[in-house]
């Protein structure tokens, strides 16, 4: 029953987003079927709690994947919000509130992705950019190492990398209401997970692999996210 509820919610958000926001999806690499065999969906440049508007560009078959086998690590701070928190807890089959520590909450995320049909949605920066260009504590936005743990846990499939052009013009952190009928840009590409791991040296020291993933995703984010605000 939960899967149907989640799918109806995701589909409703998709329909509402199409009506209220003009999302332009730009593929950065050609692919015959970029939505096939996805195991990880990673959104770079986390700027707003209203990023579900990007569902306007996602086909219904991927929404069904999220509803039936989706895994979403959600910041416990966001999960505790009285209204949006309840909404975010219904964005996938398994939504796992996590702390900022590598503790049992993160281990639960890694356990959930052992499902051979699991598809995980993650925001690798782990916190939102404020209008200053920094996070809430005034620190630069960086990629966290958890994405490397996820890629190590996935035996196969493809990584969908989404590059947000930013949503501060629609809703910035701290603002109560969004501004509808605005344009939003989303770049995207897909990469084969085993090939990506091998290229970045999965077999070497785990810390070196994690550093390589962080460096690569940071380079991609800086190259693509900020060119189409």
Which residues, 6 or more positions from 198, have their beta carbon under 8 angstroms from its beta carbon?
Answer: none
What tens digit of pLDDT does each residue of 120-156 get? 999 999 999 999 999 999 999 999 999 999 999 998 9
Q: What is the pLDDT of residue 228?
A: 56
Q: What is the pLDDT of residue 148?
A: 95
Could you tell me the domains of the chain?
2-227 (3.40.1130)
Neighbours of 120 (CB within 10 A): 28
Q: What is the pLDDT of residue 227?
A: 63
What tens digit of pLDDT does each residue of 25-84 get? 999 998 999 999 999 999 999 999 999 999 999 999 999 999 999 999 998 888 888 887
Q: State the pLDDT confidence band at 189, using cuts at 50, 70 and 90.
A: very high
Lowest-pLDDT range of 13-17, 35-39, 198-202: 198-202
At 15, which helix (H) or strand (E)? helix 2-20
CA gap 51, 159 in Å, rounded: 19
pLDDT at 157 over 80: yes
The arithmetic mean of pLDDT across residues 164-188, rounded, is 95
Q: Is the dihedral of CA 141, 190, 223, 197 positive or negative?
A: positive
Lowest-pLDDT range of 13-17, 100-104, 119-123, 197-201: 100-104
Tell me how many degrees the CA angle 38-219-138 measures, rounded to the nearest 5: 105
Neighbours of 65 (CB within 10 A): 23
What's the predicted TM-score (pTM) here?
0.94
Q: State the pLDDT confidence band at 181, using cuts at 50, 70 and 90.
A: very high
pLDDT at 229 over 50: no
Q: What is the pLDDT of residue 170?
A: 96
Q: What percent of the chain has pLDDT over 90?
A: 81
Q: State the pLDDT confidence band at 17, using cuts at 50, 70 and 90.
A: very high
């Amino acid at each position: 029953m939960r899967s149907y509820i989640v799918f109806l919610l995701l589909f409703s958000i998709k329909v509402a987003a199409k009506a209220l926001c003009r999302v332009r999806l730009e593929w950065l690499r050609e692919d015959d079927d970029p939505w096939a065999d996805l195991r990880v969906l990673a959104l770079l440049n986390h700027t707003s709690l209203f990023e579900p508007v990007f569902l306007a560009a996602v086909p219904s078959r991927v929404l069904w994947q999220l509803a039936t086998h989706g895994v979403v690590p959600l910041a416990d701070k966001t999960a505790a919000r009285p209204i949006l928190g309840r909404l975010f807890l219904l964005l996938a089959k398994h939504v796992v509130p996590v702390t900022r520590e590598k503790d049992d909450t993160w281990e639960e995320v890694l356990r959930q992705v052992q499902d051979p049909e699991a598809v995980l949605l993650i925001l690798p920066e782990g916190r939102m950019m404020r209008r200053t260009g920094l996070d809430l504590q005034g620190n630069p936005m960086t990629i966290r190492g958890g994405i490397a743990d996820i890629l190590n846990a996935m035996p196969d499939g493809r990584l969908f990398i989404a590059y947000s052009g930013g949503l501060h013009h629609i809703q910035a952190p701290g603002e109560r209401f969004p501004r509808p009928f605005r344009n939003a840009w989303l770049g995207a590409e897909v990469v084969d997970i085993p090939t990506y791991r091998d290229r970045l040296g999965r077999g070497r020291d785990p810390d070196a692999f994690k550093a390589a993933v962080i460096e690569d995703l940071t380079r991609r984010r800086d190259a693509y996210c900020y060119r189409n605000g």
